[in-house]
């Protein structure tokens, strides 16, 4: 037995322990918080299962009652069926396994693409950095399907580019068929396909004209027939996205999201330079920026040439990630190959042979200890909507249910609690939730209209009367953004600049026509006195 174990390669033991650790970290992440949108995902999935059709009109709000396209309908349905049959634990484990599986595939893809033994530590380090920096975007979340599908798309493109075999392209329409029914990020996938076509056509033209662009690497320019085949399959993939319950209306609905106010109003969509800063993400993005700058410098110094496709991918997702943190996991996947290739070459001269045995033993020991710690710290949750009452208004919902006088009252709710209320208080329509922040409403976006209630300059009485609101559910206190001492000094910023007052709550406290009827550590309820 011991002799057999001694024959097992260290690298195999390492990767088993490594991905066991990643899986447990993701499971812990899933159980440690409740995603604000989970409630509406499950409720919509339940409605689809009961009615045997997807929603076409928004029935959950009394404000925006127009057409609605659930671009995540299949994920919502599957999530509800899993939750109903196997519980919340299954959902957490499934999504943790989904991301773990994604990074295992990424690992295999990198090894096959680079075919170097020296990349082993760099793959582990960059995956660890990328996954831990992406943890705020993981959990029980439909967007994780987009991370997997983006990786699969890039692998199909790479395999086809290297081999020229059309058999790989037959997976494209199938990929987009599922992608379009699971998450709207399929549009980004289509853009990538057309971008790849544009780059390959451009390379072909430059090669044909024999332009003296010394800084571009054109030896991987593809023949015309290969580009044509990819174009045909891209069109088939575009057609496959129309095989959904909404057909072309999926595009018309998503195309209506023109106003990007949500990028500055919703925490997850904020750019990287907005507080609170995510330093782990900034470090990873800086490592990607270094690669782009160094490759560009070497190209213009005639020491190397730029390969357009990986350079474009890294640059595109770098910009998207700086513009919005939500795109960071996509950057990790899209930039992984050029980053590993660059840094493994850069540090290729580093030798630790004399310490190899010690480092192997230390690595395995550390992994085992951290895995044990993660396994012991898992807090299994079976009832997510009653397990996070310090962040969500569990008792306040019970209070509303117990008082018949509030059944017909129009409720103004906190945006973050919308999804929770849709699941826990389904009998009452609410003001807003996380499904439609970008939709055009009242001459602006829905999220902007909601934010008017909290602006200092707005007439609160007018807005409350305009919507006929008789009941207001607010947070008892706002969680302040705390700056480190060195941040306050370096950025010359005061905490008052980051933490605004809740002007709506201040108004309700002093307005004679309103009274507070409920309070706990999480939530406050105000009602109109005439109610």
Q: What is the pLDDT of residues 127-177, one digit of tens each?
A: 999 999 999 999 999 999 999 999 999 999 999 999 999 999 999 999 999
Residue 444 lies in a domain: yes
Residue 479 lies in a domain: yes
Which of helix, strand or coil describes residue 526? strand
Helix 88-114 with 336-346: angle, nearest 10 deg: 50
Long-range contacts of 8-17 (CB under 8 A, 24+ apart): 10/360, 10/364, 11/120, 13/364, 14/124, 14/363, 14/364, 14/367, 15/107, 17/364, 17/367, 17/368, 17/371
Residue 251 lies in a domain: no
Which of helix, strand or coil describes residue 129? helix
User: What sign results for the dihedral spanned by CA atoms 139, 143, 146, 151?
Assistant: negative
Residue 435 lies in a domain: yes
| pLDDT 10s digits, 314-344 | 999 999 999 999 999 999 999 999 999 999 8
Give the mean pLDDT of 226-244. 98
Provide the whole-model pTM: 0.94
Give the mean pLDDT of 466-474. 97
Joined tokens for residue 460: 């609160």
Q: Is the model's pLDDT at 496 over the cut of 80?
A: no
CATH number at residue 513: 3.40.50
Who contacts 177 (Cβ-Cβ below 8 Å, separation ≥6)?
Answer: 240, 241, 243
Residue 60 lies in a domain: no
CA 387 to chain centre: 23
Give the mean pLDDT of 457-461. 96
Q: Say if strands 469-475 and 444-445 run parallel, antiparallel, or are unpaired.
A: unpaired
Which of helix, strand or coil describes residue 442? coil
Do the Cβ atoms of 126 and 336 come closer than 8 Å? yes
Give the mean pLDDT of 105-122. 88
35 DSSP assignment: -
pLDDT of residue 201: 95
Do the Cβ atoms of 403 and 431 come closer than 8 Å? no
Assign 2 a pLDDT band (cuts: 50, 70, 90): very low
Assign 351 a pLDDT band (cuts: 50, 70, 90): low
Q: Is the model's pLDDT at 44 over the cut of 50?
A: yes
Residue 416 lies in a domain: yes
Residue 175 lies in a domain: no
| pLDDT 10s digits, 245-267 | 999 999 988 887 777 787 788 88
| pLDDT 10s digits, 441-455 | 988 999 999 999 999
Residue 326 lies in a domain: no
**Dist CA 329 CA 138 (whole Å):** 9
**Dist CA 9 CA 23 (whole Å):** 22
Assign 5 a pLDDT band (cuts: 50, 70, 90): very low
Assign 364 a pLDDT band (cuts: 50, 70, 90): confident
Give the mean pLDDT of 176-182. 98
Give the mean pLDDT of 428-457. 94
Residue 243 or residue 12, greater confidence? 243
**Dist CA 41 CA 420 (whole Å):** 10
* Per-residue CA distances from 27 to 21, 93, 95, 140 (Å): 10, 6, 8, 10
DSSP string, 364-430: HHHHHHHHHHHHHH----S-GGGS-TTTS-HHHHHHHHH-GGGSSSEEE--GGGHHHHHHH-TTS-B
Q: Is the model's pLDDT at 495 over the cut of 70?
A: no
Percent of the chain whose pLDDT exceeds 70 = 94
pLDDT of residue 209: 74
**Dist CA 136 CA 332 (whole Å):** 14
SS3 assignment for 210-264: CCCCCCECCCCCCCHHHHHHHHHHHHHHHHHCCCCCCCCHHHHHHCCCCCCCHHH
CA 51 to chain centre: 29
| pLDDT 10s digits, 46-72 | 999 999 999 999 999 999 999 999 999
**Dist CA 57 CA 69 (whole Å):** 8
**Dist CA 285 CA 297 (whole Å):** 18
Assign 233 a pLDDT band (cuts: 50, 70, 90): very high
Helix H or strand E segment including 475: strand 469-475
**Dist CA 396 CA 518 (whole Å):** 7
Weakest mean pLDDT among 174-188, 213-227, 352-366, 396-410: 352-366
Joined tokens for residue 235: 């069109």
Residue with tokens 């044909």: 208
Domain containing 520: what range?
A: 391-528
Give the mean pLDDT of 200-222. 83
For the chain, what is the domain count? 1
**Dist CA 401 CA 383 (whole Å):** 19
């Amino acid at each position: 037995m011991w002799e057999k174990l001694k024959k097992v390669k260290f690298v195999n033991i390492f990767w088993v322990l490594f991905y066991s650790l990643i899986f447990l970290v993701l499971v812990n992440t899933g159980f440690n918080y409740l995603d604000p949108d989970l409630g509406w995902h499950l409720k919509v999935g339940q409605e689809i299962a009961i009615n045997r059709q997807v929603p076409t009109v928004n029935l959950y709000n009394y404000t925006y009652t127009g057409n609605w396209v659930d671009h995540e309908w299949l994920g919502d349905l599957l999530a509800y069926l899993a939750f109903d049959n196997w519980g919340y634990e299954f959902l957490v484990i499934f999504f943790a396994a989904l991301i773990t599986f994604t990074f295992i595939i990424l690992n295999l893809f990198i090894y096959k693409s680079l075919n170097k033994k020296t990349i082993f530590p760099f793959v582990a380090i960059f995956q660890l950095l990328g996954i831990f920096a992406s943890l705020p975007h993981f959990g029980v979340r439909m967007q994780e399907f987009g991370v997997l599908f983006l990786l699969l798309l890039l692998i199909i493109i790479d395999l086809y580019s290297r081999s020229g075999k059309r058999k790989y392209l037959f997976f494209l329409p199938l990929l987009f068929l599922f992608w379009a029914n699971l998450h709207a990020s399929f549009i980004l996938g289509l853009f990538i396909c057309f971008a790849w076509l544009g780059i390959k056509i451009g390379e072909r033209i430059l090669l044909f004209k024999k332009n003296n662009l010394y800084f571009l690497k054109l030896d991987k320019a593809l023949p015309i027939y290969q580009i044509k085949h990819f174009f045909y399959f891209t069109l088939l993939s575009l057609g496959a996205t129309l095989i959904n319950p909404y057909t072309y209306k999926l595009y018309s609905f998503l195309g209506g999201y023109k106003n990007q106010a949500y990028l500055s109003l919703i925490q997850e969509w904020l750019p990287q330079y907005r507080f609170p800063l995510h330093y782990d993400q900034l470090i990873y993005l800086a490592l990607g920026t270094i690669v782009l700058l160094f490759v560009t410098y070497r190209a213009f110094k005639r020491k190397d040439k730029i390969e357009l496709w990986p350079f474009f991918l890294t640059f595109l997702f770098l910009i998207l990630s700086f513009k919005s943190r939500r795109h960071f996991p996509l950057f990790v996947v899209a930039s992984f190959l050029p980053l590993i290739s660059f840094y493994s070459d850069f540090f290729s001269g580093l030798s630790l042979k004399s310490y190899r045995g010690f480092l192997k033993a230390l690595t395995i020991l550390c992994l085992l200890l951290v895995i044990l710690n993660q396994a012991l710290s898992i807090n299994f949750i079976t009832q997510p909507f009653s397990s996070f009452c310090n962040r969500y208004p569990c008792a306040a919902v019970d209070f509303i249910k117990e008082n018949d006088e509030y059944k017909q009252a129009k409720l103004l709710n906190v945006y973050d609690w919308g999804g929770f209320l849709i699941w826990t208080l389904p009998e009452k329509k609410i003001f807003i939730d996380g499904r439609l922040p970008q939709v055009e409403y009242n001459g602006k976006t829905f999220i902007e209209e909601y934010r008017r209630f909290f602006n200092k300059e707005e007439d609160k009485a007018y807005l409350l009367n305009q919507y006929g609101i008789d009941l207001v559910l607010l947070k008892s206190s706002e969680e302040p953004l705390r700056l480190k001492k060195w941040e306050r000094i370096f950025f010359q910023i005061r905490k008052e600049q980051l933490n605004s007052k809740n002007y709506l709550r201040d108004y309700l406290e002093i307005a004679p026509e309103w009274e507070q009827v409920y309070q706990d550590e999480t939530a406050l309820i105000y009602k109109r006195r005439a109610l």
